[in-house]
Structure 1
């Protein structure tokens, strides 16, 4: 390119700043879409009708719901923190039988939604389940008056079931941090005579506080979002109160006020996480540190470590999968599957794929705006657009219902005035509302995934391309896209699986006669015949296994890269 051509190229401002402006508009639109349900909730909760309902809620509903939610969150936090951190410390610091297999097996509970695990454990531990049946066969007992057996349908059962599914969030984040610790720090402590447990409490755990806070926040947000497991296990949490107040009592105003209380809980969790991460900061040296050599555990200690890592995977993944496969085989559910199940599968794949494609495209735009744009407001707008994952599904559904219904009504009124016919519910009646809800809730995953891909592309490559005359559009198309395709594909897969498993928003915003695999499983459990939904549950789990394996392999590759 000649000097005059280069000068002419630089003199065309639209080719250099217009793509960035469009990406900034996209980021601003996404931020407004995420803020829309929150603003709608606040507006509805402060309406005159809602204010008349508030005294009843404050006196009769919120005290019990808040207390149960606080106990549930505290129990899940303690369970996930202990199991996830302990397992991460064992697999990164010690060598014992089966460690490599257990390192990825510990991630497998993420493939099972909490509601499926809850349904399975109620069936396994119920009076007609295999454990109590075997106990009666061995002892001759006939009824519950003859013996005592733990009932999972209570708060401790909910803590155990939710914790055994959600601990991998803590395990993955803490394991990644432990695998990057410098050998000099650990070995210096060992040289000074620090024993194994003091080494964990004084060095390992304090350094893991930021990762532990991040993992616990994700686990607790998922606990708040849960509706299927909590309802089935009889825990009257804030989420269940929102659902029952809206659906069973027909009080949208009361439901929005409880949802606003849930938002305050979410804000508190995120503030606590930010404060915990900001309280202590640890930096690795610029030069890649030498990894810690694992201590080999032999004899009984090695097998105890193996058992300690196997038990969470056993209760979180192996037993539920074994039960579902057993029901599938015993009832021959594949041959007896009715057409409604296959329609639900087609609906699930179609709506999840459409939402995932849209979410990833917008996520690419937001990440590209942060990379290429110069607008000062971009980081704040991107931060707002990434807050949707913190909104529980019930809160999100309530917040979207009012503006989407208003839009449908305006379009219907205009159509009747102009054409004499109404198109019906364009958004709420077509599945578009579901796609919007998925977009708001899971956009964070796409943005983070694409940003992780961008982090591997040095800004110097962009500078070199610009020096050769490439504009931002060419950077995106010819440079960034080929280099980021693996990260984009992984983000799309994770978004697809999360859309497929989402239950609260799907229950509340789906069109009439529109079922997904999640709602099919929920419907069978609500009718007391969960066994008939074992095939639908297995389909959800089968699709979710591959992303869980990818997460496990990514963590293993991180650990291996530290060793090489």
Structure 2
């Protein structure tokens, strides 16, 4: 991708730089800043309330605050636009109630703005911050807080001056994940007509037909991601996420009646706005507009989505398992590199990854066809860039890091003595892995497979650019309907995506308790 862009992007890239590219870059930076600020405002206080205070219904909120992760942001964007637009039910009710006749007679916020896109993205991405911050707070050594109390700090001062600073590395990791997701977002910003680098790449390639300029824009976007990752690592250099001696305690802050009310309103409002309300709107659409003839098309598209997601999840888990076990049994300093390198793809936006794969697979396909013609064989066609192979490959590259983390954590819990015991009885390495390690890792492997499967089902930008002709997944099908303002016809498919997104949340919460 980088090679294709250097020196080959012609006049279009120069024209973009002189006209709209500075706006694309500034919008990308502003959107990332606004979303990062909002997820901090949403995620950190909610994590603090759940983990450190005696908040009523905290047991329910503990997992309910994770539910927005199951909602694709572009779905929330459409549903809220439909709800709050001028022709939507909210403004119609206001006009009927107060006798207003035109928009000039009253003010109402416009959701289709950069700030509106930031709010929508923050509502579905704040669980990253909530989840990692809550975990960091719960695993801290409470003796540190008690030491602060003996030095004259109140309980709240100890939380603000000790607990939250100690959780800062985990918070920064979560914010970095949110920033990468924001930079990679395509459907939400395009629906709101907010021009960012991701929309510029898409328009330059498919609109102007200039792949070299699109590669150049993708390279700029990749630099943004690289800067984000490096800045996050530098910001927490030398810091630890938590104490080495975690001490779980039920000694939580008591809240007054007013604080209870404010905390409950804040937390439940996040759950309602991020999940319950949009999911309820989807169900209402499905009830009002579902038709039997739509079910056949959705079933066919859904089956194709399940197949490629299952293939990608299986390949990613197999790769992660192979590399993690290699590092386990051959723990030399350089043997961790394959596992680390295989996880780099998660930081690459789907749009950029699609551009890179097209820049790679396209020439290979042409070479294969030229070679076949030279040998007087029948041309194989586009076997890499023109089939679902490219989509599955992109899924594996993009989400291998998720499988790596889950499986590596599972392997890390296995005592090293178990590795050596079968060898002392004459059992070979492969037999040891098959009969000892794989049964122990069964749960970790399943969770890794499930997480990759769900992420693959929800992925949109890479599929939009890599899919063959006449091929749809549920995400691309629903996106096309949203672009045509016809989500009602695909509401059942959207519900299907959300329900699958809930599975890992429910499973992980069940295992926690």
Paired positions, count = 513
The answer to whether the Cα contact below 8 Å between 1:446 and 1:491 also exists between their aligned partners in 2 is yes
The answer to whether the Cα contact below 8 Å between 1:108 and 1:549 also exists between their aligned partners in 2 is no
Question: 1:156 is matched with which residue?
Answer: 115
261, 265, 271: which is aligned to 1:303? 261
Deviation at 1:419, TM superposition (A): 4.5
Do residues 45 (structure 1) and 5 (structure 2) align? yes
Q: d(CA) in 2 for partners of 1:374 and 1:300?
A: 55
Deviation at 1:45, TM superposition (A): 1.1
- Cα deviations across residues 499-518 of structure 1 (Å, max 9, x unaligned)? 00000000000010001100
User: Larger deviation: 181-190 or 205-214?
Assistant: 181-190
The answer to whether the Cα contact below 8 Å between 1:181 and 1:292 also exists between their aligned partners in 2 is no
Q: d(CA) in 2 for partners of 1:291 and 1:221?
A: 34
| Secondary structure of 1:473 counterpart | helix
Question: 1:97 is matched with which residue?
Answer: 56
Q: d(CA) in 2 for partners of 1:197 and 1:482?
A: 46
Q: d(CA) in 2 for partners of 1:69 and 1:282?
A: 29
Question: 2:416 is matched with which residue?
Answer: 459
Q: d(CA) in 2 for partners of 1:183 and 1:338?
A: 54
Q: d(CA) in 2 for partners of 1:45 and 1:463?
A: 51
The answer to whether the Cα contact below 8 Å between 1:96 and 1:298 also exists between their aligned partners in 2 is no
| Secondary structure of 2:236 counterpart | helix
Question: 2:483 is matched with which residue?
Answer: 526
Q: d(CA) in 2 for partners of 1:257 and 1:285?
A: 45
Question: 1:204 is matched with which residue?
Answer: 163
Question: 1:253 is matched with which residue?
Answer: 212
- Cα deviations across residues 377-418 of structure 1 (Å, max 9, x unaligned)? 322232221110000000000000021111211222233333
Please list, as runs of the form range in 1=range in 2, the aligned pairs for 1:182-193 lying within 5 A after superposition. Answer: 182-193=141-152
Deviation at 1:423, TM superposition (A): 2.1
Deviation at 1:197, TM superposition (A): 4.6
Please list, as runs of the form range in 1=range in 2, the aligned pairs for 1:96-245 lying within 5 A after superposition. Answer: 96-195=55-154, 197-245=156-204
The answer to whether the Cα contact below 8 Å between 2:167 and 2:242 also exists between their aligned partners in 1 is no
Deviation at 1:484, TM superposition (A): 0.5
323, 327, 330: which is aligned to 2:288? 330
Question: 1:513 is matched with which residue?
Answer: 470
The answer to whether the Cα contact below 8 Å between 1:45 and 1:51 also exists between their aligned partners in 2 is no
User: Larger deviation: 388-397 or 371-380?
Assistant: 371-380
| Secondary structure of 1:337 counterpart | helix
Q: d(CA) in 2 for partners of 1:61 and 1:89?
A: 42
The answer to whether the Cα contact below 8 Å between 2:184 and 2:198 also exists between their aligned partners in 1 is yes
The answer to whether the Cα contact below 8 Å between 1:104 and 1:553 also exists between their aligned partners in 2 is no
Q: d(CA) in 2 for partners of 1:458 and 1:420?
A: 55
Question: 2:453 is matched with which residue?
Answer: 496
Do residues 315 (structure 1) and 273 (structure 2) align? yes
- Cα deviations across residues 321-359 of structure 1 (Å, max 9, x unaligned)? 01101111122x153525322211011001101111111
Question: 2:397 is matched with which residue?
Answer: 440
- Cα deviations across residues 467-506 of structure 1 (Å, max 9, x unaligned)? 2233321221111100000010000000000000000000
In structure 2, do the counterparts of structure 1 residues 552 and 78 end up closer, same or farther at CA, with 3 Å as the change threshold? farther
The answer to whether the Cα contact below 8 Å between 2:137 and 2:164 also exists between their aligned partners in 1 is no
Q: d(CA) in 2 for partners of 1:432 and 1:65?
A: 32
Q: d(CA) in 1 for partners of 2:98 and 2:505?
A: 41
TM-score (norm 2): 0.96
The answer to whether the Cα contact below 8 Å between 1:164 and 1:316 also exists between their aligned partners in 2 is yes
Q: d(CA) in 2 for partners of 1:75 and 1:195?
A: 33
The answer to whether the Cα contact below 8 Å between 1:344 and 1:517 also exists between their aligned partners in 2 is yes
Question: 1:401 is matched with which residue?
Answer: 358
Question: 1:411 is matched with which residue?
Answer: 368
| Secondary structure of 1:512 counterpart | coil
Please list, as runs of the form range in 1=range in 2, the aligned pairs for 1:16-35 lying within 5 A after superposition. Answer: none
- Cα deviations across residues 164-188 of structure 1 (Å, max 9, x unaligned)? 1000011111111111112212233
Q: d(CA) in 2 for partners of 1:274 and 1:292?
A: 33
Question: 1:354 is matched with which residue?
Answer: 311
**Unaligned segments of structure 1, at least 5 residues:** 1-40, 558-564
Q: d(CA) in 2 for partners of 1:535 and 1:173?
A: 32
Do residues 59 (structure 1) and 18 (structure 2) align? yes
Q: d(CA) in 2 for partners of 1:447 and 1:196?
A: 39
Do residues 84 (structure 1) and 43 (structure 2) align? yes
Deviation at 1:289, TM superposition (A): 2.0
Q: d(CA) in 2 for partners of 1:201 and 1:51?
A: 54
Question: 2:495 is matched with which residue?
Answer: 538
Q: d(CA) in 2 for partners of 1:347 and 1:262?
A: 31
In structure 2, do the counterparts of structure 1 residues 422 and 282 end up closer, same or farther at CA, with 3 Å as the change threshold? closer
321, 340, 343: which is aligned to 2:297? 340
- Taking only aligned residues, the RMSD between alpha carbons, in angstroms, comes to 1.7
TM-score (norm 1): 0.88
Please list, as runs of the form range in 1=range in 2, the aligned pairs for 1:352-391 lying within 5 A after superposition. Answer: 352-374=309-331, 376-391=333-348
- Cα deviations across residues 191-238 of structure 1 (Å, max 9, x unaligned)? 444345533331122111111011111111111111100100121111
- Cα deviations across residues 36-91 of structure 1 (Å, max 9, x unaligned)? xxxxx111111x42255443233223211110011001011111112111110100
